[in-house]
Amino acid sequence: MSNLGQRLYSGQASIDFVGHRRRWYIISAVILIVAVGALLFRGLNLGIEFRGGADFSLPNATCSVEQARTVAETGSGAQAIVTQTASGTIRVQTETLTPEESVVLGAELAKTCGISPGDVKTQVVGPTWGAEISKKALQGLIVFILLVMVFLSIYFEWRMAIAALLALLHDLVITVGIYALTGLEVTPATVIGFLTILGYSLYDTVVVFDKVKENTRGITGQAMQTYSDAANLAVNQTLMRSINTSIVALLPVMAIIIVGAGFLGAGTLLDLAVALAIGMAVGAYSSIFIATPFLVSLKEAQPEMKALRTRVLARRNQTSKSTDSGSTENADSSESGPSRRKPRSKR
């Protein structure tokens, strides 16, 4: 693996990420269409913190999920969401209740599930609190994007800022679309995960762009490489680093999902970890297959980059003709070789 990384870095081996950018665009477009379709037709499974309602947590419950649901729907007069964790805790979510109604329903659930009313953890959330959380999350996202655009425009250039922003939006839409498609619950912890993966995706993209900037410095003063060639080399040079970073980052996240959520029933950890895992995987993909290829599309629309490409291709064409001509001459001389002797005539 290390030998492959060295060959990719030196240019001895190369994967044409940039040259096949239309292929990656089509793949991403299909995924984005599915994600947007899931958002439009299925919608997000918003947690109680966003839609408002009452939440009852019943530890060590002896009742079944069906029994708890029957009691909850009878007491609230509306449909209830009932789930059970690996530790045996039953969680019941209903529509918004008054404090008195929540006390009565909590007592009924405790009686049905064989626990003390004092052990029932009740949380009543109004819809206005969820709306405020959504507003703050949107404000944070807008501020984050603006700061990213300013930073990348100053450190790199505006074209790199646009390419990085496109990759960020690509990651966000796909991640949210996966939540809509699978029906995973969106909680405040999920929102924190969304904002975190934007930072991770940006970091991975900046690493690649920094190498692109290094490889393309003064590129118009030569006729050996196009901008596309230099950018593709940068992606290959950072490929192993991106893969290794993604694997190292995903290992503890997967441990949280499997151990923390699967065995301990830690719901908040699951909400955060799943968002991180999906976002990290999508972010690693976008930094390689979307951000840099799109940057090349923007850069090669510049007149100076078009002129550079023309010079490089002309030079390669001339070199190819010279090589072919030399090969033909060598072939002719080898065929003629030493002058063939004429057969002696018989006297």
What pLDDT sits at residue 239?
A: 87
Measure the CA–CA gap between 127 and 99, rounded to whole angstroms. 15
Q: What is the pLDDT confidence band of residue 22, given thresholds at 50, 70 and 90?
A: very high
Calculate mean pLDDT across residues 177-194: 83
Kindly report the backbone phi and psi dihedral angles of residue 343, in degrees, each rounded to the nearest multiple of 5, phi listed first.
Answer: -65, 135
HSE of 88 in the Cβ direction (CA atoms, 13 Å)? 8
Q: Is the pLDDT of residue 36 over 90?
A: yes
Q: Is the pLDDT of residue 86 over 80?
A: no
Terminal-to-terminal C-alpha distance of the chain: 75
Calculate mean pLDDT across residues 155-161: 90
What pLDDT sits at residue 139?
A: 84
Residues with Cβ within 8 Å of residue 117, at least 6 apart in sequence: 106, 107, 110, 111
- Given CATH 3.30.70, say whether it is the number of domain 53-124: yes
Distances (CA, A) of 131 to 85, 135, 188, 260: 28, 6, 12, 29
Percent of the chain clearing pLDDT 90 (strictly above): 17
- What is the fold of 2-46+129-304? Multidrug efflux transporter AcrB transmembrane fold (1.20.1640)
What pLDDT sits at residue 346?
A: 47
Give the residue ranges of DSSP H helices in 81-226. 99-113, 127-155, 158-182, 188-215
Calculate mean pLDDT across residues 52-67: 85
Q: Is the pLDDT of residue 347 over 60?
A: no
Domains of the chain, residue spans = 2-46+129-304, 53-124
What pLDDT sits at residue 341?
A: 46
pLDDT tens-digit map of 3-13: 766 777 666 67
What pLDDT sits at residue 345?
A: 47
Higher pLDDT, 15 or 189: 15
193 and 172 in contact (C-beta within 8 Å)?
Answer: no
- State the pTM of this model: 0.77
Q: Is the pLDDT of residue 234 over 50?
A: yes
Tokens matching residue 110? 């405790």
CB atoms closer than 10 angstroms to residue 56: 27
3-state SS track over 32-59? HHHHHHHHHHCCCEECHHHHCEEEEEEC
Distances (CA, A) of 70 to 92, 93, 311: 11, 12, 76
Q: Which DSSP string corresponds to 160-193?
A: HHHHHHHHHHHHHHHHHHHHHHHTPEE-HHHHHH
Q: What is the pLDDT confidence band of residue 192, given thresholds at 50, 70 and 90?
A: confident
Least confident of 10-19, 178-187, 214-223, 321-330: 321-330
Kindly report the backbone phi and psi dihedral angles of residue 124, in degrees, each rounded to the nearest multiple of 5, phi listed first.
Answer: -110, 125
Q: What is the largest CA-CA distance in the chain?
A: 134
Higher pLDDT, 53 or 87: 53
